[in-house]
């Protein structure tokens, strides 16, 4: 069942949810249970669909090569996440006040400044804003889901736990956002997430 791999995957894939929660908590923006569940459900559906795609690819591959391909994919995504975090740190700048960066689809600007999704400045993430946030976070799980499925992770268990971890990480992030410095923790969280994905890829190679 690769339970350890599933836990690694869910922790890494939910790291952005934690960063979002940290930012909202630090800026006193509320994420109620319904909005949190909606974000998690969209991420869960995205993970499930990506893993279905990965399962289709898995069936087409020679069995002796699947672990190698899955490892390469996971390590590649981990490196991609790491490079993205490094680039963000090198050229860090806030999004424009009119939200034009959001329209441009800059994932890392949105991750760094998710408050731009609160367009009505209500300090509360409503249904429409939660849907937008869910789809943005879902993008990060697509590639990871394909690699995880090829690695042989159970689709149903992984998708369900992705939903659970998403909700927990957003809530934990909101809570800790009141207690700690947001910027420092968010940077470390992204690096740790990238490292976990690469370690998972290496682990799957030897399993």
pLDDT tens-place string over residues 108-145: 566 666 767 766 677 788 888 888 888 888 877 777 88
Q: Structural domain tally of the chain? A: 1
* CA 19, 21, 22, 26 torsion-angle sign: positive
Q: Which domain holds residue 113?
A: 3-206
Q: Which region holds residue 28: left if phi is over 0, alpha if psi is between -120 and 50, else beta? A: left
Q: How would residue 202 be classed by pLDDT, with cut points 50, 70 and 90?
A: confident
Return the pLDDT at 88. Answer: 66
Of 140, 147, 139, nearest in space to 58 by CA: 147
pLDDT of residue 19: 79
Percent of the chain whose pLDDT exceeds 70:
73
């Amino acid at each position: 069942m690769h339970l350890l791999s599933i836990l690694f995957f869910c922790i890494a894939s939910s790291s952005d949810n934690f960063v979002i929660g940290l930012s909202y908590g630090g800026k006193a923006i509320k994420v109620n249970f319904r909005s949190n569940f909606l974000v998690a459900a969209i991420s869960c559906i995205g993970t499930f669909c990506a893993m279905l795609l990965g399962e289709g690819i898995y069936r087409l591959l020679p069995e002796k090569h699947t672990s190698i391909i899955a490892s390469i994919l996971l390590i590649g995504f981990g490196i991609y996440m790491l490079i993205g975090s490094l680039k963000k740190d090198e050229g860090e700048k806030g999004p424009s006040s009119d939200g034009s960066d959001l329209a441009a689809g800059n994932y890392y600007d949105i991750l760094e400044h998710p408050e731009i999704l609160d367009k009505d400045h209500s300090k509360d993430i409503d249904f429409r804003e939660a849907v937008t946030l869910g789809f943005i976070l879902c993008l990060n799980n697509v590639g990871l889901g394909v690699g995880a499925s090829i690695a042989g992770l159970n689709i149903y268990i992984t998708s369900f736990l992705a939903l659970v971890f998403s909700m927990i990480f957003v809530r934990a992030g909101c809570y800790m956002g009141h207690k700690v410095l947001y910027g420092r923790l968010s940077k470390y969280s992204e690096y740790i997430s990238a490292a976990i994905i690469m370690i998972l890829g290496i682990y799957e190679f030897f399993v």
